[in-house]
Amino acid sequence: MREEKWVFFFGKGRAEGDASMRDLLGGKGANLHEMTRLGIPVPPGFTISTQACVYYLEKEGWPPGLENQVKEHMTRLEEVMGRGFGHKNHPLLVSVRSGARVSMPGMMDTILNLGLNDESVEGLALVTDNPRFAYDSYRRLLQMFGEVVRGIPHQRFEHQLEEVKRAGGLTQDVELTAQDLSEVIERYKEVFQREGASFPQEPWEQLREAIEAVFRSWNNERARTYRRIHDIPDHWGTAVNIQAMVFGNLGEDSGTGVCFTRNPATGEKGLFGEFLPNAQGEDVVAGIRTPLSISGLCEWMPQVYQELVDLAQLLERHYRDMQDMEFTIERGKLYILQTRSGKRTVRAAIRIAVEMVEEGIIDRATALLRVDPEQLRQILHPDIDPSAVYCVIAQGLPASPGAASGKAVFSAQEAEEWAARGEKVILVRQETSPEDIGGMDAAQGILTARGGITSHAAVVARGMGKCCVVGCDALIINEEEGYFLAEGVRINRGEIITLNGSTGEVIQGEVPLVEADPGPYFNRLMEWADSVRTLKVRANVDTPENAVLARKLGAEGIGLCRTEHMFFEKDRINVVREMILAETTQERKKALTQLLPMQKEDFKGIFRAMEGLPVTIRLLDPPLHEFLPKTLQEIEAFSRERGIPLEKVQEKVTRLHEFNPMLGLRGCRLGILFPEIYQMQVRAIFEAACELVKEGVDVRPEVMVPLVAHVKEMRILRDLIEKEALAVMKEQGVKVGYLIGTMIELPRAALTADEIAQEAEFFSFGTNDLTQTTLGISRDDAAKFLPQYVEMGIYSKNPFSCLEEEGVGQLIETGVVKGRNTRHNIKLGICGEHGGDPTSIRFCHRMGLDYVSCSPFRIPTARLAAAQARVREDLMKWEEEAA
């Protein structure tokens, strides 16, 4: 019987494996083989297969033949490298790395410099003419071997290193001399002794034990837990990669560097990078010598430079993407240690993608996939200058993107007053309330200590397109005295702070910003996106100004116009409150009559801005107590102003209090209990529409009922809406085409979508609330445990940012299927926060929705994500057809 092949060689342009052998060679191994095949000069080596690992763990011993195969391949490696494993003068050193099918934290990572011992370290010192390097390499081997193979705690070694540094009055590792390192080596050996462990001087013994340690690390507790959580089968096992080490510090014909195939900041074509002659990769990172620009290499070693240029082109064409390469020149011979797709700014990503299409390297579909839609907002908002250095004093939730600097103020009134005299201000509040609208509008940015990414402050700020950081728990804010404390730093009223709404950072002082400027490459890419995507993109918008902005950013209608935000405006909120405090329907109607013309004017502005496009207006949704004054002062002020007895206001506030307002008297429940509220809103919509139709404007209202759980709610309210709409159109003598539909935002609505579709011409999935109820998580309270949940991998992402597909998605699918079953042409969309999230948009595309709706500055993101979803779908179809 032939013995099984456990070991696979790569080197000198030939490899026994390739990229397709991921299961057997692990991800890292398969890539090393692939690069070698391409003719890329990677340091040679060999891979022990995952099957060997599985055998070892099952049978608790080496598989038959493995030892011989390792020896044979090491011999081959020695030949290729011209050095001997364990040779005292010219030692061949190797690295040993684990590598499973998928990258997996918790497993053994790396042992470097394996093959060194007390004897060969001296040989290495001689041959490199660099004793410091040789001793440092040996010291690292000792430490890594001790930790990984012998399980000696990390601190034992670190402690000794610190001791030596302290003795020498040193603070940095790089300051250690060869002699110091020699001392460290001795101390490390004592650590081994004290721990009752040995460090094998015999390189073969080192290798044997390192390989076994990698095998065993597959089953250590952290790795097992990780697999259990991520559903990775235990029987996969890990491969082991053994690769020759090369050195760039063997003299003046050696060196090391990193380079990009295009400029990662701007996207401009051409080799971009830096290198250091006679140096190791580590030296570049440590920054003790200033690296030369890559063009310096051209002068110094023109052939090597040309080889690098050729390899860069080869790699770019092969991987069809801009590459970030690490290289080492060992005695005139170029090695590519690593190549990977290069990280780049979004600006560069766009330019590279567009230019690569022009160069014929990639097609448009691929170009569309090359830009992270999530990052587009960086070029739509002012951003912190990437080169700026600044001091972050607190971290909150990134609620509305962009950056802004201004003087800290602690009340809406202050914000308005200071802004009126030309000051730039940042409004800092415990949390915002409807009264603060004016101040929020006047401020450059908003910072709150409480609330989640869908709190009042966050929602309003996104609507305004204004930078906002919320839920910054660490802040201790004293609004009365006008200061806040953050991690010991005190910021007084009038001191400048800067917010980064894209990251949630709160920064002391002013920071230079760069203005938004998407540029011509962006426009080209967006055109391509629009021509590909099938999913329409609408905007969540509540004001005429934002409707104009949204249209400019590419909105194809409004998917969610929240009428309640109109109620919050300064001159209206008190009328709204009178409406709520009304004791009789008559009184309530009186207040509603005052609101009618205000709402109508808003609707007219919005309809006009969206001429020819659909506008979905949601009837009143939030619990009424949200509109009432909250603090005693606010209550007193309101009582005084409107001449309503204090006790009456207080009693109503108490009476409207809810334990779980999310699940309380809100949404269509308001419309059913107080039909006159919805009647007023419907009247405002249709009076606005009729008046515009008379002016010749093409108006397309879609009236949306929130929080429906039962078809009967929808039936009752549909009757109400139709009746009122008809009455208005009759009065005005004009006909307006319109739709009536509902949010699907409760599990019961999705589960009974077949019935609800009898009464609804469109569904808009309200994924914020649907996520809250399906998962049983209140967004506003989630900060107490959701971050830990995501960290532990229970949910892979925050389900309020990225749609949770298995549960919430299952309900959406039920809603889509059942809805279409009843009404085949039902219009389907999504209007939660997820409407602007690329992964969620991909899901929406897969579900066959008609549109997504998101806040204005998210629209380009959604357009690109929708195009990507379509491209990915096509790719999958091709793959299926090919298979």
**Which is closer to a copy of itself, CB of 158 or CB of 658?**
658
For strands 851-854 and 827-830, give the pairing: parallel
CB 684 within 8 A of CB 600: yes
Active site residues: 456, 831
Can you name the residues that pair with 562 across neighbouring β-strands? 618
Tell which one of 807, 839, 872, 873 touches a copy of itself (CB under 8 A): 807
Q: Which of 100, 709, 736, 866 binds a copy of itself (CB under 8 A)?
A: 709
Q: Decide: is 705 part of the binding site for a copy of itself (CB under 8 A).
A: no
CB of 808 to a copy of itself, least distance (A): 8
Residues 726-745: x/- map of binding to a copy of itself (CB under 8 A)?
Answer: -------------------x
- DSSP of 2-58, one letter per residue? PPPP-EEEEETTEES--GGGHHHHHHHHHHHHHHHHTT--PPPEEEE-HHHHHHHHH
**Residue 790 binds to a copy of itself (criterion: CB under 8 A):** no
Rg (alpha carbons) of the chain, rounded to whole number? 33
Please tell me whether residue 830 adopts helix, strand or coil conformation: strand
Asked if residue 475 binds a copy of itself (CB under 8 A), the reply is: no
204 versus 789: smaller Cβ distance to a copy of itself:
789
621-680: contacts with a copy of itself (CB under 8 A): 658-665, 669, 672-673
What are the Cα distances from residue 397, in Å, to 344, 346, 454? 24, 22, 10
Closer Cβ to a copy of itself, 599 or 772, answer by number: 772
Q: How far is the CB of 371 from a copy of itself (least distance, A)?
A: 32
Label the pairing between strands 45-48 and 7-11.
antiparallel
787 binds a copy of itself (CB under 8 A): no
Q: How far is the CB of 748 from a copy of itself (least distance, A)?
A: 3
788 makes contact with a copy of itself (CB under 8 A): yes
Whichever of 793 and 848 has its CB closer to a copy of itself, that residue is 793
* Least CB distance to a copy of itself at residue 398 (A): 20
Q: Which ranges in 733-799 belong to alpha helices (H)?
A: 747-751, 753-756, 767-775, 786-792
Beta bridge partners of 84: 91
Distance CA 838, CA 531 (A): 18
Of 74-82, 112-120, 540-548, 775-783: span binding a copy of itself (CB under 8 A): 775-783
Enumerate residues 752-771 that contact a copy of itself by CB under 8 A.
752, 769
**Residues 369, 598, 775, 802: which binds a copy of itself (CB under 8 A)?**
775
Is 9 in contact with 73 (CB distance < 8 Å)? yes
Q: How far is the CB of 772 from a copy of itself (least distance, A)?
A: 6
Quote the DSSP letter at residue 665.
S
Residues in a beta bridge with 95 = 243
Closest C-alpha to 602, from 550, 562, 544? 544
Q: How far apart are CA 8 and CA 480, in angstroms?
A: 71
Fill in the DSSP letter of residue 103: -
Nearer to a copy of itself, 198 or 810 (CB): 810
User: Do residues 526 and 863 touch, judged by C-beta distance below 8 A?
Assistant: yes
Report residue 8: phi and psi, to 5°: -130, 125
Q: Do 613 and 599 touch, CB atoms closer than 8 A?
A: no
- CA-to-CA distance for 841 and 670, rounded, in angstroms? 31
3-class SS at 114? Answer: strand
Kindly state whether residue 288 participates in binding a copy of itself, applying the rule CB under 8 A: no
Which of 321, 621 has the CB closer to a copy of itself?
621
Contacts of 445 (CB under 8 A, 6+ apart): 402, 403, 404, 406, 426, 427, 461, 466, 467, 468, 469, 499, 501
Binding residues for a copy of itself, rule CB under 8 A, total 50
In angstroms, the CA 757 to CA 760 distance is 5
Half-sphere CA count of 782, side-chain side, radius 13 A:
25
Could you tell me which stretch among 40-48, 198-206, 607-615, 800-808 binds a copy of itself (CB under 8 A)? Answer: 800-808
Quick one: which of 196, 531, 776, 881 contacts a copy of itself (CB under 8 A)?
776
Q: How far is the CB of 420 from a copy of itself (least distance, A)?
A: 34
Closest contact distance (angstroms) between CB of 744 and a copy of itself is 11
Q: At its nearest, how many Å lie between a copy of itself and the CB of residue 545?
A: 30
Residue 556 or 676 having the CB closest to a copy of itself: 676
Residues 6+ apart with CB under 8 A from 639: 645, 646, 648, 649
Stretch that binds a copy of itself, among 48-56, 583-591, 791-799, 856-864 (CB under 8 A): 791-799
Residue 232 engages a copy of itself in binding (rule: CB under 8 A): no
Nearer to a copy of itself, 595 or 743 (CB): 743
Of 183, 383, 626, 713, the residue at the interface with a copy of itself (CB under 8 A) is 713
Contacts with a copy of itself, residue ranges (CB under 8 A):
228-229, 658-665, 669, 672-673, 707, 709-710, 712-713, 715-716, 745-748, 751-752, 769, 772-778, 780-781, 784-785, 788-789, 792-795, 804, 806-808, 810-811
